[in-house]
Every structure is written in C-alpha cells, then in structure tokens.
A and B are shown apart, each in its own frame.
Chain A
C-alpha cells in the first residue's frame, strides 16, 4: 500500500516563534538548532489532551484494474462493528476511531488487508485489494452406475 503522507495533526504551532528567537541570538549551530527544535516540539505531541478521533472513509478498488469493489467488508479488528463499501466502492466507517485501531478489509477471493488508524492516513483512503491467488484443484466423488455389485457401487473418488 502506498499512501502519500498527509499530516492531519495540527502542525507544531509554537515552532515559528522559537525559530525567530534562535535566529536573533545567532549563536547556535544548525545542528544544535535542529535538535533543540525537535526537543521543543515534543511537548506538543505528548500533550495529555483527549486522544484524537478519526473518521475513516475512502474507496476500495481491485488493484489490477482499479475497478471499484462493491461489498468489501470492513471490520474494526477484534469486534463485530463494521460496514461495507457501497455500489461505488465508497465507505465511511460508522464510528470514530482512535490512533492504533485496526480496520480489516476483506472480500472473498481477495487478500485480507489491515489498516492501522493513525494521523498519517490520507483523508480519503484508497484500499487496493489484491487477488488471493490459489492453484485450483479439483477432485470429487462420482457415483458408480447402478448395474454393479454392492461392493462396486461404493462411492469412489474420481479425479
């Protein structure tokens, strides 16, 4: 899965002010500046504020020819909460999700796919489903015709 990285989190706001301050002092090396910046940003991400909710929506398509896939099952891993893609392959998960939640996309004959909810997900997900390829084999029972002895009439496997 290739997703263009797209930050959903508010970008580190206080950073701009700090850059100006450091430039004015003008005594820090670039190396020190970057490491200080990284340090300065940390509290922004680690704020003990309520965890963010995400609405996950997007389109499910067949990887090989981009056909929208109707009826792809989408479940929140470990639960029976789910939905499925509509006639245009579009879906919106019926509940808000948190960072780290896992969505499972499945469809008969296609490989299952798991998506971990995070700030880095695009706002419009494109789920590309790949064929779950199997070498097809066939062996079944063919009953023997009637005019045989009881022993011969016993079912036998036929290739």
Chain B
C-alpha cells in the first residue's frame, strides 16, 4: 500500500516545477555561469555570489545560478547524515538534545567550509546566504520530509529547505534533494542534478515537505499532519 502511495507521489512529482512563471528567464545561461565557478571556495560567499550573479539580469536567473552551483558543488555526507539520525534517536532529553545540536552545528559548518560536504541544513543555509548576498530575499524552512521507511516523528523535524521571494512572490525549493542521491550499496553520494525541486509547485511540494510553520506551504488548502503521513 505504501509502495503504491509513493509511486503515485513520485509520478505526481515529475514535471512539476513552477517554472511557468518565468517563461522569459534564461536558466540555461544561469546554469552555464554556475559551471564556470566549479570548486570555488566557500570562504568568501560575497565574492562567490557576485561572480555567480553579476552577469545575469533577472533575480530568478541569479537565484538559479546560485541554486545550480550549490547542487553541482556540495555533496551529501552520508556519514554525517547517519550520525545525525542516530544521535537524535538516542537523545531523548530535550536539553541534552539541544546541547548536542549546538555542537553538531559547528561540525556541520566546518565540514561545509573545508570539505564542501553537508546535510540538508548546510544546503539550505548556503542557499539563503548566497541569495541574500545577491540581494534576493530567501529564508530557511524547517520541517518534515516524507520517507517510505519510517513515519516522520512530530517531535523531530528532519529536513530543511528554502523559501525565496522572486518578483514579490514566494516560491519553494529544496537544494538537498536536487543535488543527487546516496547509493544504497556503497553509501557514496551520486551527484545528479534534479531541477524538479527548483521552484516546485507548492501543492506538489507539500506532498513531501511539511513545514513546522504551515504558512510556508504557500497554499490555501493545507493538508493536516495525518493526511501528510498517510494516516487518512
């Protein structure tokens, strides 16, 4: 039953980017710019944002260049991911969990800077920072992502993504999931840029992303938690 539900979900997810709002935007050019700066250091985000965006006119093109650059240059760190899951499961005490989060947050940023690897928090953080440097309003959204192997735990938000304001309208995107996947056997990161998660249609996005603040679903008819996790 679950499998059917997920198959349906992923069929629904295909071809659903909200790119129709940006018919005149030159995303190909933006992607090309992003490829020019492969392996650029993260030590100077302002310089990186300038390089990625100064040759592009529209905000949506600038944002696209930043999004693509992140997806092409930042790798998912499976070990870090496993560690975060494990640690969050063994720590039941709220204070203890908070203290651990604080330390782990440092590790995440160090890894991001030095090795260009991270988990979703790092992707969302980088996207926000680079967009802000380019003068584009962008924020991180925390919440839950839907998984086939375990029920999302309402106590433990497990994912971060972004909201971005383009031409006075908010859009959603998920750079983590757009960057690639982990091989089930080797646990190595396999880069594979998947731009469905770039400005995805909110009503489709909400099937796999449930924000802590439901205002960020960006839709009028909001599914409730039970509907999201498939209990009704």
Chain A interface residues (CB < 8 Å from chain B): 71, 73, 75, 80, 82, 84, 106, 108-109, 131, 133-145, 151-152, 154-159
Contact = CB atoms under 8 A, between A and B. Distances in A.
Contact of A141 (B3, B101, B105, B182): B182
B167 interface: no
B80 A109 contact: no
Interface in B119-172: 119-121, 125, 129, 140, 142, 145-150, 152, 157-160
Contacts of A141: 76, 177, 180-182
Contact of B121 (A106, A134, A151, A159): A134
Nearest to A108: B113
Chain B interface residue count: which class? 35 or more
Given A140-B78, A155-B10, A158-B149, A109 B106 contact: yes
Given A135-B101, A159-B152, A140 B182 contact: yes
B149 A159 contact: yes
Interface of B: 3, 6-7, 10, 42-47, 50, 76, 78, 80-81, 84-85, 101-102, 104-106, 108-110, 112-113, 119-121, 125, 129, 140, 142, 145-150, 152, 157-160, 176-177, 180-185, 190, 208
Contacts of B109: 108-109
B46 A73 contact: yes
Nearest to B183: A143
Contact of B101 (A136, A154, A156): A136
**Main SS class of interface, A:** loop
B12 to A, nearest CB: 12
A137 to B, nearest CB: 5
Given A80-B46, A80-B50, A138 B120 contact: yes
A109 B104 CA distance: 12
B121 A137 contact: yes
Given A109-B109, A143-B184, A159 B145 contact: yes
